[in-house]
Structure 1
Amino acid sequence: MQFSRFGEKFSGNSGISGLMEDLGTALSDDPTLLFMGGGNPGRIESVQSAFAARLATIAADRDQRHQLLGVYQAPQGDRGFRDELARFLQREYAWDVGPENIALANGSQSAFFVLYNLLAGEAPDGSARQIHLPLSPEYVGYRDIGLSDGFFSATRPRIERLDRGQFKYHVDFSALTLSDSVAALCVSRPSNPTGNVVSDSEVAELDRLARAKGIPLIIDGAYGQPFPGLIDETATAFWNDNSILMLSLSKLGLPGVRSGIVVASPEVTLAFSRANTVISLACGTLGPQLLRGMFDDGSLLQLCRQQIQPYYGERRRLAIRAVETARGDLPVWIHKPEGAFFLWLWCENLPIDSFTLYERLKERGVIVLPGNDFFIGSGDDWPHSRECLRISYAGDTQTIEPGIALIMDELHKTYAAHR
């Protein structure tokens, strides 16, 4: 069969398809694998029980059940949910938002596909427009999302070495230059893959640069504020009329409902919803229906603060201890974990590339993500991009400790074999 250019691009191998194939293998085909690769949230029984109770209430009510199963939503998504979310954002952050500032999508991945291609790619005058990532590495799911080649540009980070074998990426403003081809800036906060949190001052400077250039600043808040709040508590939530905040219900423990949220100017949400209607017709209703009432009564934030955040905090500490215990004299650095639920390891002067290390670990029964695919738009000539691993600590404690022990053992063997 002869595919189109679109078909060849999107049916081929990609970082995100490989990630999801590994996830499927680990969760269904081979449950003996220690899965520390994808972004699947942890199984928190108290959280699942809370949503199960909400679902039972909806199913028992004739009108709610009909809204869930039998009604197409308007192009921007469930109006009641958008009203309630807008009230929540006004109350919590004093943001000047209404339901017209909010649009829904069938998951944040599809939301980014629509948004990015609305902004970047081939412009009406034939010129090429790009999304610029001011702090590479960034989320692997961005890499292949553009409909045209050369869709991304990026700025490599400034690396600060810290105590206890940790390090931190910072936006290198001295190297950040925005050409006329840049259509938008985008940063995940906290970062997937590194757990880095771009500071308030860095966000303010990125906002200033974006405004001066007449382009939006996109913040991917899938792991951050306002929910599930897996972010350093000193970070301040950010949004204004020149920014686009992307949110998701997945990291609340609801990846299966596929609900993404766009908070932006009415001009952007209108364009987004029209394009999204062409692609998806309508948004699913399960996510918005499940959360109806939870913004107004405060129960969603309570769930985040009392159940979700402590769960990941405990596992983060366990994962760090496991790496530190087994590291010995290896030149393996942990990115300072400030959010999300990943450890990002920099294996300095790694004798092999991280993809080869990933393959070896897979053979030993543990799945991680190699760092190669996360350095989007920053070139392939930087050794650092081949020396990193992303490890998820979202799983149970029976996975974290033995999984990290295998990872560190393989690293000891790898370095020893090349001395």
Structure 2
Amino acid sequence: MVQEEECLRIMTPMQNPPSSLWANRLRQNQGIRSLMEDLGQVTGHPDEILLGGGNPAHIPEAEAIFAEAFQSLAKDPKLGALLGDYQAPIGNDRFRSLAAEFLSPHLGADLRKDNIAFFNGSQNAYSYLLNIHSGKMMDGSFKKILLPIVPDYIGYADQSIEADAFLATKPEVIRTGNRRFRYGLNKTEFDLSIVGCVALSRPTNPTGNILSNKDIEWVEERTQKQKLPLLIDLAYGNPFPNLIGQEEPIHYREGRTLSLSFSKIGLPGVRLGIVVSDPDTIETLSAYAAVGNLAVGNLGVYLMEILFRKEILTNLAKNILRPFYDKKRELAIAIFESEFQKHGIEYEIHDPMGGFFLWIRFPNLSVTNHKLYHLCKDKRLFIVSGHYFFPGLNSDFSHTQDCIRLTYCRPEEELARGAHILAEIIASHQTKSE
């Protein structure tokens, strides 16, 4: 009998151990997880069309610069330290001082090493920044993260440890031309009463929208009165890769926390993010980094040293990256509009002011954008459903269900095949205009 009970015990599957509410949220359907798993599950099949991810384009001229930098590191006597020594949690003082010196003229501020922190990607940095300024406060209150204009970056939504930490309002929709529109800042519903910080990306991922300096100063005037930090994500912005079209650059000033990334210059595998902020925030980030990361990786900061030398990175952004992406954007728009019009598709494109995405609305779509994503995936076409980009928005807004994000970083032939398949699918899943 004892042996029988023991046998049954062994054969009975173990139940999952109890988990935290945060763990339960992380296991649910996340936009950023879905996006990155799609990238990871790519098989290399010739029919796959990868218009979903945020991977930068492979630009031969840029990759030649990176290859030369890697070769220089391989021959450097400091290679042993690169491979065999830990950095400090947010980077050694030498590299932080170097970054401060390089960034000062580009960000219009007199920066010191105490204004600089390195992280294993700006995504990693934001997971700490957002939790520093939101959730349960020491005075017992609960503070939220305000996204002043949505849609915004897919990766913000699940970074807060506390649930229901985001707040957003429906943006203005500004018609800018035939089949063109732009989202504008909703100033009438701007409310900071339960807010711990304000966060935005510039250019905005996913739309390419660029909030003007005038609008940012309007927001900042209100955050300063409440002594709230303004977090500005410059992953696609100035000073690198500087994909900001004709708009003015952002500068650093007290009350702002800026984040920069090496991913969009063409080095996503290196995982280097740079935070520029006040010394107190940097010190708090150092404590987070020590616990969460132990140390920042060495490769990124050693490459940074080479690319900052003699303004190599500045010239790369100005003379290679911006011309390349400007040309790709115009090509992609022409390809997609041609296919949409051939198939009688009703569509609207957000003015692509910067970055390297197209945000497209299909007002007559008869299925949700999430369903459209699966229909496309069945045809080996990868896109991103727009419903993920509105964290904290609780009001009805049709754009949450009928918009998608596409990258135009892929080769022309791949863009053309993707546009054709997408147009065919939408043509069979749209209601007729009256």
Question: What TM bracket, shorter-length normalisation?
Answer: over 0.9
Q: How far is 1:233 from its partner?
A: 2.8
- Deviations 1:241-291, CA, capped at 9 Å, x for gaps: 100001111001111111111100001111111111111000001111012
Runs of 4+ that moved beyond 3 A: 28-31, 416-419
Is 1:234 equivalent to 2:250 in the alignment?
A: no
TM-score normalised by L of structure 1: 0.95
* Cα separation, 2, equivalents of 1:11 and 1:29: 27
* Cα separation, 2, equivalents of 1:213 and 1:366: 46
Match of 1:278 among 281, 287, 291: 291
Q: Helix, strand or coil: the match of 2:429?
A: helix
Q: Please show how residues 140-179 of structure 1 align to structure 2 within 5 Å.
A: 140-179=154-193
Is 1:245 equivalent to 2:245 in the alignment?
A: no
Q: Helix, strand or coil: the match of 1:415?
A: coil
Q: Which runs of 5+ in 1 are unaligned?
A: none
* Cα separation, 2, equivalents of 1:94 and 1:195: 24
- Deviations 1:100-131, CA, capped at 9 Å, x for gaps: 10101111111111111111111123321111
* Cα separation, 2, equivalents of 1:174 and 1:12: 34
TM-score normalised by L of structure 2: 0.92
* Cα separation, 2, equivalents of 1:239 and 1:204: 12
Pick which of 233-242 and 340-349 moved more: 233-242
Q: Please show how residues 342-353 of structure 1 align to structure 2 within 5 Å.
A: 342-353=357-368
**Amino acid corresponding to residue 291 of structure 1 in structure 2:** M
**Amino acid corresponding to residue 284 of structure 2 in structure 1:** A
Q: Please show how residues 105-124 of structure 1 align to structure 2 within 5 Å.
A: 105-124=119-138
* Cα separation, 2, equivalents of 1:352 and 1:15: 19
Q: How far is 1:349 from its partner?
A: 3.7
Q: Determine the structure 1 residue equivalent to 2:145.
A: 131
Q: Determine the structure 2 residue equivalent to 1:323.
A: 336
Q: Helix, strand or coil: the match of 2:295?
A: coil
* Cα separation, 1, equivalents of 2:170 and 2:81: 47
* Cα separation, 2, equivalents of 1:378 and 1:134: 11
Kindly report the root-mean-square deviation, in angstroms, between the aligned alpha carbons of the 2 structures: 1.6
* Cα separation, 2, equivalents of 1:404 and 1:239: 40
Q: Determine the structure 1 residue equivalent to 2:269.
A: 256
Is 1:185 equivalent to 2:201 in the alignment?
A: no
Contact 2:366/2:431 (8 A) holds in 1: no
Q: Determine the structure 1 residue equivalent to 2:63.
A: 48
Q: How far is 1:315 from its partner?
A: 1.1
Pick which of 107-116 and 75-84 moved more: 75-84
* Cα separation, 1, equivalents of 2:63 and 2:280: 36
**Amino acid corresponding to residue 31 of structure 2 in structure 1:** G
Q: Determine the structure 2 residue equivalent to 1:406.
A: 421
Q: How far is 1:29 from its partner?
A: 5.6
Match of 2:40 among 21, 24, 30: 24
Q: Helix, strand or coil: the match of 2:310?
A: coil
Pick which of 266-275 and 287-296 moved more: 287-296
**Amino acid corresponding to residue 375 of structure 1 in structure 2:** F
* Cα separation, 1, equivalents of 2:403 and 2:160: 25
Q: Determine the structure 1 residue equivalent to 2:115.
A: 101
* Cα separation, 1, equivalents of 2:424 and 2:404: 14
Q: How far is 1:292 from its partner?
A: 0.6
Q: Helix, strand or coil: the match of 1:77?
A: coil
Q: Helix, strand or coil: the match of 1:414?
A: coil
Q: Helix, strand or coil: the match of 1:146?
A: coil
Q: How far is 1:92 from its partner?
A: 2.8
**Amino acid corresponding to residue 24 of structure 1 in structure 2:** G
Contact 1:68/1:289 (8 A) holds in 2: yes
Match of 2:375 among 360, 380, 385: 360
Q: Determine the structure 2 residue equivalent to 1:302.
A: 315
Q: Determine the structure 2 residue equivalent to 1:12.
A: 28
* Cα separation, 2, equivalents of 1:143 and 1:163: 31
Q: How far is 1:418 from its partner?
A: 9.1
Q: Determine the structure 2 residue equivalent to 1:375.
A: 390
* Cα separation, 1, equivalents of 2:27 and 2:336: 37
Q: Determine the structure 1 residue equivalent to 2:5.
A: none
Q: How far is 1:211 from its partner?
A: 0.4
**Amino acid corresponding to residue 281 of structure 2 in structure 1:** V
Q: Helix, strand or coil: the match of 1:295?
A: helix
* Cα separation, 1, equivalents of 2:171 and 2:346: 19
Q: Determine the structure 1 residue equivalent to 2:106.
A: 92
* Cα separation, 2, equivalents of 1:217 and 1:298: 28
* Cα separation, 1, equivalents of 2:313 and 2:197: 31
Evaluate the alpha carbon distance shift between residue 165 and residue 32 of structure 1 in structure 2; reply closer, same or farther with a 3 A threshold.
same
Q: Determine the structure 1 residue equivalent to 2:9.
A: none
* Cα separation, 2, equivalents of 1:295 and 1:216: 28
Pick which of 354-363 and 289-298 moved more: 289-298
Q: How far is 1:6 from its partner?
A: 3.1
Work out the number of aligned pairs and report it. 416
**Amino acid corresponding to residue 143 of structure 2 in structure 1:** R
Q: Determine the structure 2 residue equivalent to 1:69.
A: 83
- Deviations 1:195-240, CA, capped at 9 Å, x for gaps: 1000111111111111011101110100011101111232222321
* Cα separation, 1, equivalents of 2:283 and 2:305: 23
Q: Helix, strand or coil: the match of 2:367?
A: coil
Contact 1:131/1:184 (8 A) holds in 2: yes
* Cα separation, 1, equivalents of 2:263 and 2:92: 18
* Cα separation, 2, equivalents of 1:11 and 1:166: 37
* Cα separation, 2, equivalents of 1:414 and 1:120: 41
* Cα separation, 1, equivalents of 2:102 and 2:178: 39
Q: Which runs of 5+ in 2 are unaligned?
A: 1-15
